[in-house]
Structure 1
């Protein structure tokens, strides 16, 4: 707890804020988590900060449930929502024809993105458009969320990680277009997964790049266990050596097991 928070008047300063948050639907359990993670919240003005934040979000999200989800994320951080920047960012997205459902999703689950300065936000939007994302698709706001959440140096390091595997600029851009969250992975995770899939399993880097969602799967929890099964089947000659990475990794668990039973049952 911050020392200055202990000096606040409980009845005149703290209680009104807690009562307001409870009145809009924030549960007591959520409230205790919010305050413990960001005690400076109690030092904010209810009239100049909390109430305006609520009304700004309400004007975009409409649903109280979504407003509360978003507000909880904001209140746990030290981010202060600027009305001018927020509305400018919303206006920019609407001007591109981005559906309200996509905007609501971005605001609800990643409000910090919408709180960026309008200039920085616009630069991020410009890059996402240049990469080739369709504003009418949900992938656009997913890409925007990832791009604006990564420092330029970190972004370049991840691009370089893919280059080390001989992937072209277009292949790397395609990875981001197909699965934006791949660029949210750490450089270490990218390299470890690529090393296993390419060096241990023998798939070509370009083959992995065509199904980048594979890189989002846990190396220890999904990739290695499934590949260990495939290697046994290969050694026994039960499957062909050119099995596609997609059929091994993307298939849901029950279908993967079903195919496995059929393969083993045929011999």
Structure 2
């Protein structure tokens, strides 16, 4: 098992080695090879990028193909992240698509489209902070310009697409 984890890029002695052992513990070589191939195909990763991602998040081997496919489609197609960006930050694949990734993407997209946030604002940074910190940093400063944003975000976090999520500020009358 240790040799298998090392071949996947999880170095012995690293903080992730225990997780690497857990990830390969009940998977045969064929299943591991199939999952690695699936990661390469789904995320358009090279062998090196798979090794980088597994060294940081070895439990990806235990994630379902459907979960990985849905995250790939969302992060690459909708958010517009590059495969290499995801490979270097694979922990984002552990987060809930409906409860965290999609709602935070909606907020960032809204803020960027309305000039309320820098276009280079990092999706990864927004995903990695706690919910309280996310609200404090990305929503509260814009209460006046976007009074509906907090409610829209709360609705999106419940897995619903808010019917009133507004990607363009309404023109001020008067």
Question: Shorter-normalised TM-score: what interval?
Answer: 0.7 to 0.9
Counterpart check, 1:178 vs 2:56: yes
- How many positions carry a matched residue from both structures? 144
CA distance in structure 2 between the aligned counterparts of 1:133 and 1:161, rounded to whole angstroms? 18
Q: CA RMSD in A?
A: 2.1
**2:12 alignment counterpart:** 135
Alpha-carbon deviation of 1:208? 1.3
Q: 2:37 aligns with which of 153, 157, 160?
A: 160
- State the secondary structure of the residue aligned to 2:16: helix
User: 2: CA distance between counterparts of 1:133 and 1:144?
Assistant: 9
Q: Which has the higher helix share?
A: 1
Picking from 62, 80, 84, the partner of 1:206 is 84
Q: Aligned equivalents of 1:234 and 1:195: distance in 2? A: 21
1:249 aligns with 2:127: yes
Give the gaps of 5 or more residues in structure 2.
Answer: 146-174
Q: Which residue pairs with 1:194 in the alignment?
A: 72
Report SS of the residue matched to 1:133: coil
Alpha-carbon distance change, 178 to 266 in structure 1, aligned in 2, over 3 angstroms:
farther
Q: 1 or 2 for the larger relative contact order (CA 8 Å, sep ≥6)?
A: 2
1:237–1:157 CA distance, 2 compared to 1 (3 A): farther
User: TM-score with structure 2 length normalisation?
Assistant: 0.73
1:150 counterpart = 2:27: yes
Give the Å deviation of 1:152. Answer: 3.2
